[in-house]
Amino acid sequence: MRSATMLMAHLPPPPELYVVGAGPGDPELLTLKAYRILQTADVVLYDNLANQELLALAPTACECIYVGKKPYGEYTPQEVIHELIREKALAKGRVVRLKGGDPFIFGRGFEEMLFARSHGIAAHYVPGISSMQAVGFEDIPLTHRVVSEGFWVLTGTKKDGSLSADLRVAMQSNSTVVIYMGMKKLPQIAATYVQEGRGATLAAVVMHASLPQRKVVRGRIEELPALVAAAGITYPAIIFIGDVVGLG
The catalytic residues are 47, 69
Distance, in Å, from the CA atom of 20 to the CA atom of 224, rounded to the nearest integer, reads 33
In this structure, are residues 17 and 95 in contact, taking their beta carbons and an 8 Å threshold? yes
Distances (CA, A) of 175 to 44, 63, 138, 185, 198: 38, 44, 18, 21, 14
- The alpha carbon of residue 127 and the mean position of all alpha carbons in its chain are separated, in whole angstroms, by 11
Angle at 153 between CA 174 and CA 30, to 5 degrees: 125
- Per DSSP, the chain holds a count of helices (H) and strands (E) of 7, 10
Distance, in Å, from the CA atom of 155 to the CA atom of 170, rounded to the nearest integer, reads 12
